[in-house]
Structure 1
């Protein structure tokens, strides 16, 4: 038995005063309406209606059940209406996880613009460079940077993320400028803790860059260490571009750096996606331009001094 449909039928019979009119209201046959009410009475173990050929009357138990059933059905209708509004008018709390450096540099304006467009959506932004479990940790969307791997999650690519190998002019003046992957093995490397070993070395000779004594899980720190002459860093242009533009850093061996990564919006489900999530993903897609704003005007060529 469909308990909810039986409850609706019972309420309709009471309000219409007959099984025939209740059936017409609900789009049932009178026989099916009678069957629903009989099954409801059997499941409750009590008679709800006294039936005659002319009319139906509530029993004492039926009167009490009718009042409660009305309340339940009204609450269900209100809940469904509210859920419908959430699907059509974005509102509520949107929990986002994003990488620290990217978020601090490039999300404030985006979030401000998004809130202007959707003022009924509140943002709860968490910054973390580790890969969060968006379902387990309760996030609606996670922004991730890297190469897209197989996953049960849904991903939309938002922007390309270019990498550059950089060092300061002072460091290169003291230690020399590497021209080939093999020459990198003679230089100090500023290591990003969460990265794979994707430095453009000549692996045939087993070459490895020397540790500089500095590793960090934050790219801003490593770029600033490179500016101060501590070594060579492989970092995304959305962090390194300002230092390259003002001459604090120069790019090296552009033809040998790893291929671009991507900025992805990751979410759990494609079907029945909450309106607030769908609107945010659509809003961020294309927001940063093509090429992205941080790459515009940046010559991604080796500009190291001879």
Structure 2
């Protein structure tokens, strides 16, 4: 586009006020600068928009046609700016959220109804990936991640922490007995351990050998998905170590029983929301993070 919005605004203001000097005063320009801008606009359009006399300005036929178009453009720009301002006060638009399946099911989904009631103009798109998601490639606004963060290009906001526990179903314990020591737990002839295929760090359980070494288990059944491991434990297929956000209801109902309560170390996983650094965070993202953080404080996973 050859012409600029400033040039259009000056031309419209000159016509509305009837003089270059009045337009210059309103737009906080010098008269000479306003006159040069109007002349530049006519040169760009290769036409005369206004016939100037000592007493008044008269629109040419071309000026009349351009005036109508310029008004429409300026009104559209103003409407767009007003719409963006309104979106800041009333968050709207699509919000794409990514999280591992267990956290999505147990922590995010229960909060959706309340969030939608408060922010009905936001269209949620909830996606689950067990691995690390490339936010740009998957067009993701916010990813919810559990554990240590490594990507320094992302902005991270801590939302909550969740304790990890060693658990088994009553049916499993009745069939295999309750392990009382680490040696009994690691005895593959007596007990089946459920663990993660990746990352390997999730197979370090919150126990300590007498020499101070952490307990790294060798699972007989593996999965990348924590929800799969939870269901295996509920079905009596083995002993598992999972985060509290997944098992709150299971522990409350007694369908999963904590083991090594006194020997267990206090280990908590940190839950972060990550998103690309922006000079101004979109309001739909900010309100989602604020809502999630507040609700997670009100609903601790440890209960």
Residue 231 of structure 2, aligned match among 224, 227, 247: 224
Partner of 1:134 in structure 2? 135
Q: Deviations over 1:78-99 (max 9, x none)?
A: 0001001001122233222232
Structure 1 residues 110 and 208: alpha-carbon distance in aligned structure 2, compared to 1, 3 A threshold: closer
Partners of 1:140 and 1:95 lie apart in 2 by: 5
Partner of 2:182 in structure 1? 180
Partner of 1:146 in structure 2? 147
Q: SS at the partner of 1:231? A: coil
Partners of 1:157 and 1:44 lie apart in 2 by: 55
- TM-score, scaled relative to structure 1: 0.83
User: 2:193·2:219 contact (CA, 8 Å) conserved in 1?
Assistant: yes
- Asked if 1:235 corresponds to 2:237, the answer is no
- Asked if 1:244 corresponds to 2:251, the answer is yes
Kindly report which structure 2 residues correspond to 1:172-211, keeping only aligned pairs within 5 A, or say none: 174=176, 177=179, 179-180=181-182, 184=186, 186=188, 187-198=191-202, 199-200=204-205, 209-211=217-219
Partners of 2:200 and 2:84 lie apart in 1 by: 43
Partners of 1:13 and 1:273 lie apart in 2 by: 38
Residue 276 of structure 1, aligned match among 271, 275, 284: 284
Partner of 2:163 in structure 1? 162
- TM-score, scaled relative to structure 2: 0.83
Instruction: Indicate the RMSD between aligned Cα atoms, in angstroms.
Output: 3.0
How many equivalent residue pairs? 294
User: 2:101·2:227 contact (CA, 8 Å) conserved in 1?
Assistant: no
Report which stretch shifted further, 234-243 or 199-208.
199-208
Report which stretch shifted further, 200-209 or 71-80.
200-209
Residue 265 of structure 1, aligned match among 269, 273, 297: 273
User: 1:166·1:233 contact (CA, 8 Å) conserved in 2?
Assistant: yes
User: 1:188·1:210 contact (CA, 8 Å) conserved in 2?
Assistant: no
Structure 1 residues 205 and 22: alpha-carbon distance in aligned structure 2, compared to 1, 3 A threshold: closer
Report which stretch shifted further, 156-165 or 243-252.
243-252
Tell me how far 1:178 sits from its aligned partner: 5.7
Tell me how far 1:205 sits from its aligned partner: 9.3
Partners of 2:114 and 2:276 lie apart in 1 by: 24
Partner of 1:97 in structure 2? 98
Kindly report which structure 2 residues correspond to 1:69-80, keeping only aligned pairs within 5 A, or say none: 69-80=70-81
Q: Deviations over 1:106-159 (max 9, x none)?
A: 333311111222222232222333322223322222222222334222221111
- Asked if 1:85 corresponds to 2:99, the answer is no
